[in-house]
Structure 1
């Protein structure tokens, strides 16, 4: 029987091979089909913008933003609303037509750059332009690896764009690389080179976002975040978009409504600018995948600013609001383009009528160890390394997820030698950030740099330590990499690390399904990429036989 869909972009893909009837994430075949079509027409418009630049003609920020937001919309767990995706396809086709008219040389363009059809034909076209349209397994693997990296890069770009930061070089590369995945003349070697170049621009994209965040909200600082609740009604903000959170906090001032972060929004508490809001109470809950139980008990409305939506239960679905790239059928969507002020009054008015959150835990957790803060502590950290108090750093950044196999990361953190310090970013930290792992001479054994978007900090810290210790090779640092991945932002982080020359990275709980055996072999032989084993075996591998 012909597959209804095919998607293998996330770690939870069915059978570690691909979702073919319904996405493990919850997306249905129609949504999957429209996402495939949206990616395909985004490749087509990118082919045109790339050629326009070669002709010396400027490409507008609006066009750049359309392509970026399109890719972000197709990230795992971001948008399940096929009507919203259809609207983006139409917007892209309209923008593409205008750009095509600006092009002097229209010869040799791909079908993705010229296709136009009645909406009644969109479904049939979507079924033949997806992942499996590339027959050669290795070419397909590399094209998807690049595309998923670009999806991750699009997330960083979009968050920077809403803070009025753009990087034309990053946009131009993203579009050039996206268009290149249509080029049947490119060899495996050329696609491998483009994959590493994607990582290089991933570093640039992360640096852009880091600059946008810190120039707007200040450098993150060590912060103790409350994980209990207050007595007032609240709004829970999930996802990654700091600008959405800022607008909501401004609009809730003096309303009697408290604001809480959830999952990847936790690191907002580390930024000085957000500390001025008296109603910014704390963090509620854990990683994204627990939201069905935690959203139920929160009682108030929830704002999803980006990806990480789990199909909501009917009992709280009417309390879910989406905005930006996110969407779910039946949930209210708050509109607002880049640069526009969003109106959150509907969420605030609902919150006023809700009960206060049910307390699910008490206490606090500490974070805020982004690069500026760690570098400020550099003398203390270096002394701890030189005296042997800290023997190794373990980068455990990345994503959390539902699979029981991810308990490995909790067990691994607990089994670490007492002279090891965890460097983390992303929601993977929820596997161990509430453990009592103690400190080393006042340095906490879990240093949380922030969101997955803040993985740049981990690279900056590594490069700074390399400089301080006078090392020639970043791999000579006392740092090991044991990273959990789930979706496409983790892919761009991986490619960014590879572009910086980092080797021997371990990925889990499984290696990506989109890596063909031959592509996996290239990554293993050239970069030492590996999976995870048992906790005991991996501890012995990284630290030597433990007594």
Structure 2
């Protein structure tokens, strides 16, 4: 195996024996093979669409399959065996339809002609032969950008998967999967500049995907409203829902009506409390635990059941084996999985029965609270007041301090940054990085009624942050780069890579990125990003605040 798609990769270089995330080498190799056969499907789909032949089922499978290879999603090798054979079946069916219509497809040898071994051992041998560095180029900078596009597309896939679950599709996005995954494998040469353009296009498609998901969430569950979320718990039976998938949470809430079970969110599911259609369930009470990387300790202490709807899943420990259920693309060997029916519904009876069999919380416990629900609709509603406060000198600067969290000690930078931000500054935050400092919301106070810490939502709600920044730029008749706004971004996995590409597509400069820079960027590619976009590695909070504010 070789994997360097996440920020915590071994020694900042790459995992070669076992993933820091807990991924076994067999799973890593099968994930690489999954991406390889997807390139074959992409080559066929791109050629077939020229002849008027498409497969909606295959198009929907691209994000579904790529999402499975994202960090901390699926650790079950059997799932990837099924995925690989399904992808090849889609590929051959689509090829057959085109050829039956008298259309000969121009397909080079490689992923478009790959024949998977019939058994697990043979497939694993093939996976080891088609690893991450078995690419059709000897140029390390081009390979770096090819990986950047692949990892960014994995991030796009997480958002597209959520959108598809709620019935949203987009042909331009599907076509980009074909183009991006086929590029470089079709025998047609691409320059370094071409690959830079493809990376920026990935950012553009991610923006379109996040907009699509925002519409899917808000049309289904309403626009988020400011909501105070308890961080303690109630006496009684409990189910904790982690991940990002609002539909899974909604279905579970429906199925737990009048069951005597309190439902809690965990991790990046906490913004769900701000959606009106979810708020109306009285047994959705609060948020249990903190960020995803603390789940092993927190789940071991939980006297209830857990439903993992998306990433981020850590290795399931013996202390709570049997209490954690997976669904969607999430998988762990031996963990009970709740699959969707053909109509998209799910039966969470096993989760409910497990929660009822466990003791539940013995007593009520207060744990403070956190505010969520500051999406773009809410903040644009007070944009006029915010502009007045800026013009009056009461708000000097905005910081977007957000992104993925992780376990590295250096991530306390973000806590210290928020603590030390002057009282006349406002902090927007999103994604699970907020768990580093969201307990400070009340202590940070407000500026004339505008809270200094505003939780915009999940990582995919970066779209809201972009809408807010664009609206402020319009109000001040300037561009985003000229606003009193600085982006202080923490990254961990591929969704953050997709968001970074979106920011670069939008031409946003002077981004502070940490806690370390991506290992898949070669020095030349990194120098290009620094020179064109002035991306800066984080330093110390004191140094960076001084550099930004003067």
TM over 0.5: yes
Deviation at 1:110, TM superposition (A): 4.1
Q: Secondary structure at the match of 1:69?
A: helix
Q: Is 1:230–1:356's contact at 8 Å kept on the other side of the alignment?
A: no
- SS of match in other structure, 1:154: helix
- 1:462 matches 2:469: yes
CA contact (8 A) 2:107 2:186 kept: no
Q: Does structure 1 residue 498 correspond to structure 2 residue 504?
A: yes
1:69-80 pair list within 5 angstroms: 69-80=64-75
Answer with 120-129 or 301-310: which moved more.
120-129
- The unaligned stretches of length 5 or more in structure 2 are none
Q: CA shift at 1:534, angstroms?
A: 1.3
1:400–1:484 contact (8 Å) kept in structure 2: yes
Cα gap change, 1:542/1:360 in structure 2, threshold over 3 Å: closer, same or farther? farther
Instruction: Identify the residue that residue 508 of structure 1 maps to in structure 2.
Output: 514
Q: What's the counterpart of residue 536 of structure 1?
A: 542
- Quick one: which of 264, 267, 286 aligns to 1:263? 267
C-alpha distance 383-337 of structure 1, shift in aligned 2 (>3 A):
farther
Q: What CA RMSD, in Å, does the superposition of the two structures yield over aligned residues?
A: 1.3
Q: Would you say the 8 A contact 2:265–2:287 is kept in 1?
A: yes
The corresponding residue for 1:115 is 114
1:29-68 matches, within 5 Å, as 29-60=25-56, 62-68=57-63
Aligned residue number for residue 176 of structure 1: 179
Residues in 2 aligned to 1:524 and 1:198: alpha-carbon distance in whole angstroms: 19
Whether the 8 Å CA contact 1:44–1:110 is kept in 2: the answer is: no
TM-score (norm 1): 0.96
**Aligned position for 1:128:** 129
Equivalent residues in 2 for 1:128-527 (5 A)? 128-134=129-135, 135-183=138-186, 185-336=189-340, 339-357=343-361, 362-435=367-440, 436-471=443-478, 473-527=479-533
Distance 1:360 1:70 in 2: 41
Cα distance in structure 2, aligned partners of 1:287 and 1:214 = 24
* Count of matched residue pairs: 538
Q: 1:490 Cα shift?
A: 0.5
Structure 1 residue runs of 5 or longer lacking an equivalent are none
Instruction: Check conservation: 2:307, 2:324, Cα contact below 8 A.
Output: yes
Report SS of the residue matched to 2:47.
helix
Question: CA separation of 1:452/1:181 partners in 2, compared to 1, >3 Å: closer, same or farther?
Answer: farther
Moved more, 50-59 or 17-26: 50-59
Q: CA deviation at 1:65?
A: 1.6
Name the CA distance, whole Å, in 2 between partners of 1:231 and 1:370.
32
Structure 2 residue 5 is matched with structure 1 residue 9: yes
1:415 to 1:337, Cα distance in 2 relative to 1, 3 A:
farther
CA displacement 1:130-180 (0-9 Å, x = unmatched): 221134211111011001110111111110111111111111112211211
The structure-2 alpha-carbon separation of the partners of 1:8 and 1:183, relative to structure 1 and needing over 3 Å to count, comes to: farther
Q: Is the 8 A contact 2:234 2:365 kept in 1?
A: no
Task: Classify the secondary structure of the residue corresponding to 1:27.
Answer: coil
Do the aligned partners of 2:293 and 2:407 also contact (CA within 8 Å) in 1?
A: yes
Secondary structure of 1:397's partner?
A: strand
Query: Normalised by the size of structure 2, how large is the TM-score?
Result: 0.96
